[in-house]
Structure formats: structure tokens, C-alpha cells
């Protein structure tokens, strides 16, 4: 059940694909050198392996428990979270002035991956706290920032996001929770919120709930939603904790996975009203929530990579250990470790290629975010921000979809043992299943990718990315290994086809969005998956260019990378053509809406 962070692959991506040197050239990131990266990742790897990972299986067996409104986390979690806070891990990416380390997102991302691989349930608490910090830093007053952010960064307090209500899931227009001004600058909040991750627990002294609610006479729909901070315990002027606020956890859910993470139903205002502070301006809550949400969406994408990595490691260990059947090529008379069998190889390489590829894309996205935040030139900022925003739904949607496939393959590699809970492989299969749902389902990500990220700028960013892929393809064709190494030729061929499929899908979206929105949105998830496959294929192509240059420095590592890229080219990239067919076929036929409801 152990976890060893893939520090070497992480550093390869950070340094060679995401170009840490360009990030550390940005103002304020001067300390984020390759040496820093190595030191931070080594430290994170050690902490997560020693302190966090051992609690993962325990959390599944002994989930958090609810009693009389109080939630007690799995034994060991409270102490581990204390060490997490004291170690400064909550603050890696946050500003130094509030107690953070002020490091780039590019270095925070591998830390988040490790924490999630070590323990998805526990990691959700910091993930939500990160979102609360982002929202407060963006929209809070200086007093609010001072009151909340340092405690959140130190791990003394934690944060939550309160969006969902029973009737309002993906559709936040239906939010009914209300906030009534008290005349003293505070509000009283009334309503029920569900699916609140770590909405109640005993790991921190206070919990800062960020809550979407409507003020009296607010416009209907999403334009009438405001954001409020509602702490579990009110905070006195001097920062000490005051009265218990009127927000109570009435139950927690019995879930398929991430069982150690308490998913709370929170009742606001049953005893007179929960005291809340408005964050930012009235009726702009959704906008602020999207800031949180975008950070959280990227984070959930990283969760997908994390659980995929953990499942891969476990499957590899089992496949090396389990002896069963002779080799099909007759190369041995005795039964061999199953890692020798071609289909087990196929499964392990699928898991590996998807995981490494998703990691590369996510870290590259993180570097774009860093440049967008810190570059001196506003035009460069805007360019990188646009690419980052295009990539976020892909990282979220694609990395989480593949995490289910990878975790499922992990079970399969274990055979019958995979179905036994004590083995541990099944936990990843259960845990991963939430990732394509929360923080916006894959369809919601796809809608975002189509609407805000592809159509709104007339496909400009999508085409800019396609042009970058073309340049990489040119470089690949021009390098010496192209003639000597079939991996290079295969990736070039399949990525060329994939790139054309993606270009065709973008054109389809642009051409039909107005005349046939149903056809366009029916192809949304296939478009997202197509983008994921092609953009990841592109990262493997870039990795081959690095391998071309540095192969002699570390032959075994680059041979592995080349073999993985080759596998991705032959076994994953060909799906691009099938996805394109699925997308464009929605046009000019009866469409998916042909059947009446009764016919289902």
C-alpha cells in the first residue's frame, strides 16, 4: 500500500517540458530554481510517503463519523493534518505576506499531486481551503484577508465551498439560500447546502464556509447570487474565536469512495440565522466562485493524475510479484511473473502512458498560469492566460476520465484479488469515480471548453495551439532519430492525424454553434477527450525532442520515455479519428434528440 512519488518524472516535466527556467525568470519567482524544485519535491515525497500515505487505506476502512452534529475524522488524520500545516504545505503557492511560500503553481502542482496520491480523502481538505484562500484574496477586504487567510494557510483553520443545494447542482441559477442584511454590516444566512466536502470535522479549530446565497430583492438566476464568509465559530476583533455560529452539520453521506472525507449536509440559520460577511460586491458571487472553481477544477484534474499514479504503482508491484502461466512465446517452461505477459504489459503501459501524459499537460498548464500572473508584458500575460483557460477544462475532464479507466485497469491487473477490498486496488476504482462529477461534471467541462474557450474567441486560442503543434511536428520530422527510430515516426504520423482531427472538430464547433447547438454540444465530451489525447500526444512529441538531445545523459530514463511515447502513439492516439467521427456525425442526421422521452 506504499506510495513513492515519481520525483524523477515530475522533475523531467517541470524542467524540460514546462520550462521552469522561464518561470524562475519571472519577477518574484527568482528562488524557484531547479535546485529548489528538487529540494521541495524530495521533501514533499518524503512527507507524503511517511505521514500521509499510510492513512489512506485506514480512512477507507474507518471513514469519518458523524454524531450529534460533530464529525470525527479517521484516527490519525488530525495529527497528520497538523504536520501538514506546520510543514507549510498549505501555503506553497500562496503569498509570503500572508504566511505562504510564494512559489510558482508549477512547483505547487507536484506537491498537490503527491498529497492526493498519498491520500485523496485527506487532500480534499487542503484543496477546498486553497479555493477559499483564492476567493478571499481576490474579493475580500484587507480586513477579511487578515482575519482569515493567515489561519487558513497555517492549517489552524480550513475552508469550504458551499454551492450545491438539493435542487441546485450543476444549475446554480436555482440557488435558494438567502442572506438578510442586519444593518451592522453582517448578514444572517438561512438555507441548506449539500455535498459540502470537509464541511464539518475535528482537524482544525475553525472552518470558514464560503457560501452562495441571495440577498433580498436580488435578481433571479445566477446574476442574483452573492458570496458570504460564514465561519463555524465567529471571530473576535482580536482574532480569537467567539461564539459558535448557527451553521450545523445535520448528516454526512454514505459514499462509494473518498470515504474518509466527510461530505456534509449543512443547515444554516435554523436557530436564528448564521452570521456571515459579504465577500466582494453583492450579486457578483458567481464570478468569485468561478475563481475558486477554476483553481479547484485544475486541482481535481491533478487528483485524477494522482490516483492514476497510485493505481499504476500498485498494479506494477503486483504484476512483478504474481507468478502465473508460461510465456506465450515459449521462452520459458515455467510460469513467470505476470508482468511478462503481453496483455498485462498492455494494461500497465496504458496506465502509465495516460498518467504520464496527463501529468505533462497539467504541469505545462501550471507554467502558463505562472507566466500569466507574473510576466512583465501584459500581452504575454493575456496570451498565456488564454492558453491556460483553454487547458483547464481539458486537464479537469480528461485527467479524471482517464483516472477511472486507469483505476479499473489496476483492478484488472490484480485479477480476482483486485475485487477483494483488503487488496486495496478497489479503493482507487471507487475513489476515482467522484472526480468526473464534482467541481463540474465532464459535460460541464466540455460546455466550458466549447462555449467560453473555443467559440467566444472564434477559435483563436485553439488555432494558436494547433499552430504550436505544427511546429513541434516539424521539429520531430527534422530530428536525426526520425529515420532511425520507429517511435519518432509513429508518433509523428499519429499526432499529425490527431491534429487534423482536432482541427476538424474546432471547425465543426465554429461552423455549427449557432445553427445547430444541440449537435455541437452533443459532441462536447468527445471534443474534450479529443483535445486531451492530441494535447497529450503533443507533450510526448516534445518529450521525444528532449530525448533526442539528452539521451546519452540518462539512457534508461529516456528509453522508457520513448517506449511510453511510442505506446501512446500506437494505442491511444488512434482514438482521435473515432472521436472526430463521433463529433461531426451529429450534424445532418436526426441527432441525439430524435427519440422522444417515452422511447427511452
Catalytic residues: 439
Q: Does 447 bind a second copy (CB under 8 A)?
A: yes
Q: Does 556 bind a second copy (CB under 8 A)?
A: yes
CA pair distance 330, 348, nearest whole angstrom: 22
Largest Cα–Cα distance in the chain?
85
Cell 528538487 belongs to residue: 38
Of 487, 505, 506, 535, the residue at the interface with a second copy (CB under 8 A) is 487
Q: How far apart are the first and last CA of the chain?
A: 44
Cell 444549475 belongs to residue: 171
Q: Does 597 bind a second copy (CB under 8 A)?
A: yes
CA pair distance 94, 51, nearest whole angstrom: 23
CA pair distance 456, 440, nearest whole angstrom: 20
- State the DSSP H helix or E strand holding residue 8, giving kind and residue range, or none if neither: helix 7-12
Q: Does 553 bind a second copy (CB under 8 A)?
A: no
Residues 344-363 that bind a second copy (CB under 8 A): 344-346, 348-349, 352
Of 150, 257, 304, 537, the residue at the interface with a second copy (CB under 8 A) is 257
Residues paired with 226 in a beta bridge: 213
Of 446, 534, 535, 536, the residue at the interface with a second copy (CB under 8 A) is 446
CA pair distance 121, 130, nearest whole angstrom: 15
Of 142, 184, 422, 553, the residue at the interface with a second copy (CB under 8 A) is 422
Of 418, 505, 512, 530, the residue at the interface with a second copy (CB under 8 A) is 418
State the number of binding residues for a second copy (CB under 8 A): 98
CA pair distance 377, 525, nearest whole angstrom: 35
Strands 206-213, 157-162: parallel, antiparallel or unpaired by DSSP?
parallel
Piece of the chain touching a second copy by CB under 8 A; list 126-134, 238-246, 330-338, 475-483 = 330-338
x/- site string to a second copy, residues 193 to 232, per CB under 8 A? -xx-------------------------------------
| CA-atom Rg of the chain in angstroms | 24
Measured from the CB of residue 228, what is the shortest distance to a second copy in angstroms? Answer: 22
Task: Assess contact for 177 and 193: CB atoms under 8 A.
Answer: yes
Comparing CB distances to a second copy, the nearer of 418 and 537 is 418
User: Which grid cell sits at 429?
Assistant: 476504482
How crowded is residue 153: how many other Cβ atoms within 10 Å of its Cβ?
A: 23
Measured from the CB of residue 497, what is the shortest distance to a second copy in angstroms? Answer: 10
Collapsing DSSP to helix, strand or coil, 275 comes out as strand
Q: Name every residue whose Cβ is closer than 8 Å to that of residue 482 and which is 6 or more positions away in sequence.
A: 476, 488, 489, 492
Of 141, 325, 456, 470, the residue at the interface with a second copy (CB under 8 A) is 325
**Which residue blocks in 119-241 are alpha helix, DSSP H?**
120-139, 142-154
Measured from the CB of residue 95, what is the shortest distance to a second copy in angstroms? Answer: 33
Q: Name every residue whose Cβ is closer than 8 Å to that of residue 30 and which is 6 or more positions away in sequence.
A: 24
Residues 372-411 that bind a second copy (CB under 8 A): 404, 408, 411
CA pair distance 75, 61, nearest whole angstrom: 11
Measured from the CB of residue 385, what is the shortest distance to a second copy in angstroms? Answer: 26
Of 125, 434, 491, 543, the residue at the interface with a second copy (CB under 8 A) is 434
Q: Does 586 bind a second copy (CB under 8 A)?
A: yes
Output DSSP code: residue 206: E
Comparing CA positions, the residue from 266, 270, 143 lying closest to residue 209 is 266
Residues 123-182 that bind a second copy (CB under 8 A): 164, 167, 169-171, 173-174
Of 415, 463, 466, 554, the residue at the interface with a second copy (CB under 8 A) is 415
Measured from the CB of residue 351, what is the shortest distance to a second copy in angstroms? Answer: 10
Comparing CB distances to a second copy, the nearer of 35 and 422 is 422
Piece of the chain touching a second copy by CB under 8 A; list 81-89, 270-278, 303-311, 482-490 = 482-490
Task: Assess contact for 402 and 304: CB atoms under 8 A.
Answer: yes
Of 253, 282, 287, 383, the residue at the interface with a second copy (CB under 8 A) is 253
Comparing CB distances to a second copy, the nearer of 36 and 504 is 504
CA pair distance 528, 583, nearest whole angstrom: 10
CA pair distance 412, 301, nearest whole angstrom: 23
How crowded is residue 136: how many other Cβ atoms within 10 Å of its Cβ?
A: 26
Q: Does 551 bind a second copy (CB under 8 A)?
A: no
Measured from the CB of residue 232, what is the shortest distance to a second copy in angstroms? Answer: 23
CA pair distance 261, 60, nearest whole angstrom: 9
Piece of the chain touching a second copy by CB under 8 A; list 122-130, 141-149, 289-297, 336-344 = 336-344
Measured from the CB of residue 320, what is the shortest distance to a second copy in angstroms? Answer: 6
Residues 97-126 that bind a second copy (CB under 8 A): none
Q: Does 559 bind a second copy (CB under 8 A)?
A: yes
Q: Does 558 bind a second copy (CB under 8 A)?
A: no
Comparing CA positions, the residue from 294, 152, 286 lying closest to residue 219 is 286
Q: Does 320 bind a second copy (CB under 8 A)?
A: yes
Q: Does 185 bind a second copy (CB under 8 A)?
A: no
How crowded is residue 415: how many other Cβ atoms within 10 Å of its Cβ?
A: 14
Piece of the chain touching a second copy by CB under 8 A; list 153-161, 354-362, 385-393, 425-433 = 425-433
Q: Does 62 bind a second copy (CB under 8 A)?
A: no
Q: Does 546 bind a second copy (CB under 8 A)?
A: no
Q: Name every residue whose Cβ is closer than 8 Å to that of residue 593 and which is 6 or more positions away in sequence.
A: 518
Residues 496-535 that bind a second copy (CB under 8 A): 517-519, 521-522, 524-525
Amino acid at each position: 500500500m506504499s506510495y513513492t512519488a515519481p520525483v524523477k518524472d515530475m522533475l523531467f516535466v517541470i524542467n524540460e517540458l514546462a520550462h521552469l527556467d522561464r518561470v524562475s525568470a519571472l519577477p518574484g519567482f527568482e528562488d524557484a530554481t531547479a535546485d529548489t524544485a528538487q529540494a521541495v519535491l524530495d521533501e514533499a515525497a518524503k512527507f507524503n510517503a511517511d505521514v500521509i500515505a499510510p492513512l489512506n487505506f485506514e480512512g477507507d476502512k474507518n471513514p469519518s463519523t458523524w454524531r450529534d452534529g460533530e464529525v470525527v475524522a479517521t484516527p490519525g488524520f488530525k495529527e497528520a493534518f497538523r504536520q501538514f500545516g506546520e510543514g507549510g504545505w498549505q501555503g506553497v503557492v500562496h503569498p509570503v505576506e500572508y504566511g505562504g511560500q510564494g512559489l510558482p503553481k508549477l512547483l505547487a502542482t507536484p506537491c498537490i499531486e503527491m498529497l492526493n496520491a498519498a491520500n485523496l480523502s485527506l487532500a480534499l481538505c487542503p484543496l477546498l481551503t486553497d479555493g477559499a484562500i483564492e476567493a478571499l484574496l481576490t474579493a475580500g477586504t484587507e480586513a477579511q484577508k487578515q482575519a482569515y487567510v493567515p489561519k487558513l494557510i497555517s492549517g489552524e483553520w480550513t475552508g469550504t465551498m458551499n454551492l450545491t443545494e438539493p435542487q441546485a447542482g450543476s444549475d446554480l441559477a436555482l440557488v435558494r439560500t438567502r442572506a438578510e442584511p442586519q444593518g451592522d454590516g453582517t448578514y444572517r444566512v438561512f438555507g441548506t447546502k449539500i455535498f459540502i466536502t470537509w464541511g464539518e470535522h475535528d482537524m482544525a479549530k475553525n472552518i470558514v464556509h464560503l457560501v452562495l446565497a441571495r440577498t433580498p430583492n436580488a435578481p433571479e438566476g445566477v446574476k442574483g447570487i452573492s458570496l458570504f464568509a460564514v465561519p463555524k465559530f465567529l471571530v473576535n476583533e482580536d482574532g480569537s474565536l467567539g461564539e459558535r455560529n448557527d451553521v450545523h452539520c445535520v448528516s454526512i453521506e454514505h459514499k462509494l469512495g473518498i470515504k474518509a472525507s466527510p461530505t456534509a449536509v449543512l443547515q444554516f440559520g435554523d436557530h436564528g440565522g448564521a452570521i456571515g460577511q459579504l465577500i466582494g460586491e453583492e450579486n457578483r458571487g458567481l464570478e468569485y466562485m468561478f475563481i475558486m472553481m477554476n483553481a479547484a477544477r485544475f486541482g481535481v484534474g491533478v487528483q485524477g493524475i494522482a490516483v492514476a499514479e497510485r493505481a499504476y504503482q500498485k498494479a506494477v508491484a503486483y504484476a512483478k510479484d504474481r507468478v502465473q502461466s508460461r510465456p506465450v512465446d515459449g521462452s520459458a517452461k515455467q510460469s513467470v511473473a505476470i508482468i511478462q505477459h503481453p496483455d498485462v504489459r498492455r494494461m500497465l503501459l496504458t496506465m502509465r502512458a495516460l498518467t504520464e501524459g496527463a501529468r505533462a499537460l497539467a504541469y505545462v498548464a501550471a507554467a502558463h498560469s505562472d507566466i500569466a500572473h507574473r510576466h512583465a508584458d501584459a500581452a504575454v500575460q493575456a496570451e498565456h492566460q488564454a492558453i491556460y483557460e483553454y487547458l483547464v477544462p481539458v486537464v479537469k475532464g480528461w485527467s479524471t476520465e482517464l483516472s477511472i479507466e486507469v483505476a479499473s485497469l489496476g483492478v484488472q491487473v490484480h485479477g480476482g484479488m483486485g475485487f477483494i477490498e483488503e487488496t486495496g486496488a478497489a479503493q482507487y476504482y471507487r475513489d476515482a469515480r467522484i472526480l468526473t462529477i464534482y467541481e463540474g461534471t465532464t459535460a460541464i467541462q466540455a460546455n466550458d471548453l466549447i462555449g467560453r474557450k473555443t467559440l467566444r474567441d472564434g477559435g483563436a486560442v485553439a488555432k494558436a495551439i494547433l499552430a504550436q503543434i505544427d511546429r513541434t511536428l516539424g521539429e520531430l520530422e527534422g530530428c536525426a532519430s526520425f529515420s532511425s527510430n520507429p517511435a519518432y515516426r509513429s508518433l509523428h504520423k499519429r499526432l499529425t492525424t490527431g491534429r487534423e482531427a482536432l482541427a476538424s472538430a474546432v471547425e465543426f464547433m465554429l461552423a455549427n454553434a449557432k445553427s445547430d447547438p444541440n449537435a455541437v454540444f452533443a459532441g462536447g465530451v468527445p471534443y474534450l477527450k479529443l483535445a486531451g489525447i492530441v494535447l497529450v500526444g503533443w507533450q510526448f512529441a516534445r518529450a521525444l525532442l528532449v530525448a533526442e538531445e539528452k539521451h546519452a545523459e540518462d539512457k534508461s530514463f529516456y528509453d522508457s520515455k520513448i517506449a511510453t511515447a511510442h505506446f501512446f502513439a500506437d494505442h491511444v492516439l488512434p482514438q482521435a479519428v473515432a472521436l472526430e467521427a463521433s463529433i461531426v456525425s451529429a450534424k445532418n442526421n436526426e441527432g441525439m434528440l430524435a427519440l422522444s422521452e417515452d422511447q427511452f
